[in-house]
Structure 1
Amino acid sequence: MMGEGNRDKSKKKKKRGGAKRRMTVEQTSALKSVNEWVYLAQHADEQEKIKEDDFLPEIMRIARVSENIVFELHSHTICSDGFLSPSALVEKAHQNGVKVLALTDHDTMSGIPEALQAAGRFGIKIIPGVEISSVFSTTRDESEAEEPVHILAYYSSCGPARFEELDQFLANIRDGRYLRAKNMLAKLAKLKKPVKWERVIKIAGNGVAPGRLHVARALLEAGHVEDLKQAFDRYLHDGGPAYSKGSEPSAEEAVQMVCKTGGIAVLAHPWALKNPSPVVNRLKEAGLHGIEVYRSDGRLAVYSDLADAHGLLKLGGSDYHGRGGRSESPLGSVSLPVLAARDFLKVARPIWCDAIRNILEQCIKDPSEPNLKHITRFGTRRINTCNCEKDLINSCLRSWLTREEMQHADFQATMLKLSDVAVN
């Protein structure tokens, strides 16, 4: 319990802080546009109610504007190297006040459907994402040096366009993880720190490609290290005595793949790179849209300046894994400014809209069951109803596209053609 003296100090501190800073006209406008996108599904539901009952009070017709929309754009689950299930991650996000959650597991999107099911219960908007493992090659004194680089990809409600191509791209990376983990274990054995392969696979979980964290946990269980940090510091860090490369693509290829499949490509944690400037230079040419600049401890000026110099989006997230401890930032702890969120959506929405239309067009060309399912692969919980395909598609799209976007002549023409094909 706080003592009297402390209470007085607290009151004085609040007084010195002054009144809450008023938002600028630009911030107010940005907040309005971000709100509209975040609550698209609720707005659509309200519009349906208005149509059904013209006598609703006027106050019910005015959308409420939230001044605190928390974006969490970097998180992981047990589908890669996190400690929580996708549904548990969503519940945690809800508890922490997150309104928009990007699930960005390493080299897999397998957790997205479960996350979406859970998100429906909490009113959270899910951005289907993935963190792609890649390498950046530099030439120094006629010798080539490689450095791990991670690319975050953010997609629309329909997921990636050309899904099978991206899925195979990610599968190749995951396959390389198995060989990489075995090489790490072989190196650990030579260092007299043996770890059983069966244990690493069990820690990773069914169908999950093993990563360094799984090897680190096995090292800890075997008593070779005191904690996970020590496992990385002594053996598994980049270039460490037990480090091994997988079959990762080049960073340029990863960015190009994200762009080709209708995603937003963002460089993850540039502060982990030895020299981020040449990486950003080359990746910008490949199509990079942004870099992480914001962390729980605030904006990092040097990376903000780097983003400005290349005309890139400035984003950020907690990189939450759910492992606990003081070293991990809480889920939703990054304060992404409303102007940064507005800029992100301004760049992303036209790209997502084109990707959605491309997916729909593919279904028109080939109205096979897999292509029809692709439209609602990453849809909302409504896709479990027994409605016809048209209802499923509409429910999926209206949570992502504005009325103006859906009523655009090109989009309407596509929907009309799809209706003739998909709905009897």
Structure 2
Amino acid sequence: MTTTRPAATTEEEEMVMAASAAANAAPPDADDREQQKKARARNKKKKKKRRRAPSEEELAALRSVLLWARRGEAGDDDAADCGGHLLPAGRRRPRVAVELHAHSARSDGSLSPAALVERAHRNGVKVLALTDHDTMAGVAEAMETAKEFSIRIIPAVEISAVYSPSWGPAKSQELEKVLSSIREGRYTRAKEMLSKLRSLGMALNFEDVSNIAGNGVAPGRVHVARAMVEAGYVDNLRQAFSRYLYDGGPAYAIGSEPAGESVVQLICRTGGIAVLAHPWALKNPAPVIKDLKAAGLHAIEVYRSDGKLSGLSDLADTYELLKLGGSDYHGRDDKEEPDIGSVDLPVLAFFRFLEAAQPIWCNAIKEIFANTTERTGLNGPKECHRTSSVDDLCNMCLSSPELEETDDSEVEVLRTEFADIILSNRSCKTLTEQRAEITSLLH
């Protein structure tokens, strides 16, 4: 596929003629200079809108990602417009709205998981990772709601660590044990922050902070900040953080966060993808990223609502890390907060994430499946059962009396992820294989 530059428009020709005439005329006055400045600005804006034609690799990746997002069900319009993502005259880079960093009211967001999914749907999001702080309690609700809108949910968690949070899908009790310990530390941390505020003449009740956080939600700084606003100590959340609750501030306190390296290793052990969130908040990110890479880090956030951060992109290249990003949406009453789905994550970046993630997820799910079938007595050829659907498979594996205490969210995650396994010769069909098939069709 070749790219050609469109012929000059009539307006562009007029601008060239005007510029030529101006060069042969008397020096322009102030009004003429202003008009020329505006003309140059218009021309520059038009040039920015012209995007290169999408490559075959991008188109193949787009189709693969859309198939993955739809759980393998191709749309009738895929061949014509890449599943609703029109590419007129090769002038637009293909894009799938993906949100990999968003919070619900199960941590410090304002929307319930269901409401968050609904907002993502209104914004055209096709893939959503719910990354609540130190908990996956909202995943099941998000998945259930997503069924109504054909949104793909990636079970995820943003884990508080000494260096910086990481997030990614995971499994098993080992992860929950660590998350539970971190959440307990959040209660202790909140009480210490209230003690420091009291010494500064701002008395607050812990019960009020807990009520703001909600039933079962470990309190964070934002909940303390809201209590400060309600008590009249500050005008808004921004003021509470800028004056008292910022890192190292007079009312700041640390929790029981583990070391960043141990968090990355935990995520890798439990079948997840470890991604460094907020790397721009680090004063000296290079040595931190180097150490986390050695521990198994897969990716870092590079894309934000204000574009790609070149310095972090270079670090990602240096340490061979995937480049991801998200809005970090919380649903706060802040006009400057990026909306969910607002980060322009290139489809190739997300495709490469899936290329790396899918084998890891498949292996983790196979391990769960092996453990479950072993406990339910379905691990021998004489006891094999034929299933006609994912629901049958999940019911067969998850209905054992030994699993009565299985958490609902874990069952829903298993039910969703089992749908991605193709049990053929005990192997998974990867996105790389899908892309190879699609690429062959393009030639």
Same fold (TM over 0.5): yes
- Among 84, 89, 94, the alignment partner of 2:111 is 84
Aligned residue in 2 for 1:407: 424
CA 1:274 to 1:60, structure 2 compared with 1: closer, same or farther past 3 Å?
closer
**Residues of 1 paired with 2:53 and 2:80: CA distance?**
21
- Among 273, 281, 293, the alignment partner of 1:284 is 293
**Residues of 1 paired with 2:353 and 2:251: CA distance?**
39
- Among 338, 354, 357, the alignment partner of 1:329 is 338
Q: Deviations over 1:346-400 (max 9, x none)?
A: 10000000000000011123234465886984566xx9xxxxxxxx95x7522x3
- Among 30, 54, 60, the alignment partner of 1:29 is 60
**Is contact 2:142-2:153 (8 Å) kept?**
yes
1:212 aligns with 2:221: yes
Q: Deviations over 1:4-32 (max 9, x none)?
A: xxxxx999888656665310122122212
1:151 aligns with 2:166: yes
**Residues of 2 paired with 1:255 and 1:16: CA distance?**
43
**Residues of 2 paired with 1:131 and 1:19: CA distance?**
37
**Is contact 1:70-1:336 (8 Å) kept?**
yes
**Is contact 2:137-2:409 (8 Å) kept?**
no
- Among 162, 169, 193, the alignment partner of 1:135 is 162
TM-score (norm 2): 0.75
**Residues of 2 paired with 1:376 and 1:349: CA distance?**
23
Aligned amino acid, residue 52 of structure 2: R
SS of residue matched to 1:293: strand
**Residues of 1 paired with 2:146 and 2:238: CA distance?**
32
CA 1:369 to 1:248, structure 2 compared with 1: closer, same or farther past 3 Å?
farther
Higher relative strand content: 1
**Is contact 1:116-1:379 (8 Å) kept?**
no
Which structure is larger by alpha-carbon Rg, 1 or 2? 2
Aligned residue in 2 for 1:397: 418
Aligned amino acid, residue 259 of structure 1: C
- Superposed, 1:137-216 pairs within 5 Å as 149-153=164-168, 155=169, 160-161=170-171, 163-216=172-225
CA 1:97 to 1:60, structure 2 compared with 1: closer, same or farther past 3 Å?
closer
CA 1:208 to 1:372, structure 2 compared with 1: closer, same or farther past 3 Å?
same
**Residues of 2 paired with 1:272 and 1:196: CA distance?**
31
**Is contact 1:359-1:375 (8 Å) kept?**
no
SS of residue matched to 1:81: coil
**Is contact 1:116-1:378 (8 Å) kept?**
no
Q: Deviations over 1:104-162 (max 9, x none)?
A: 000000001111111011110000000000113xxxxxxxxxxxx11112x2xxxx33x
The structure whose RCO (Cα within 8 Å, separation 6+) is larger is 1
**Residues of 2 paired with 1:18 and 1:268: CA distance?**
30
- 1:34 deviation in Å? 1.4
- Superposed, 1:335-374 pairs within 5 Å as 335-367=344-376, 368-369=400-401, 371=403
**Residues of 2 paired with 1:225 and 1:375: CA distance?**
40
**Is contact 1:376-1:396 (8 Å) kept?**
no
Indicate the percent of aligned positions where both proteins have the same amino acid. 52
Aligned amino acid, residue 59 of structure 2: T
- Among 130, 136, 141, the alignment partner of 1:114 is 141
**Residues of 2 paired with 1:295 and 1:29: CA distance?**
25
1:309 aligns with 2:326: no
**Is contact 1:106-1:133 (8 Å) kept?**
yes
**Residues of 2 paired with 1:254 and 1:350: CA distance?**
20
Q: Is the deviation greater in 116-125 or in 367-376?
A: 367-376
- 1:260 deviation in Å? 0.6
What is the aligned length?
A: 358
Question: Cα RMSD over matched residues?
Answer: 2.7
SS of residue matched to 1:114: helix
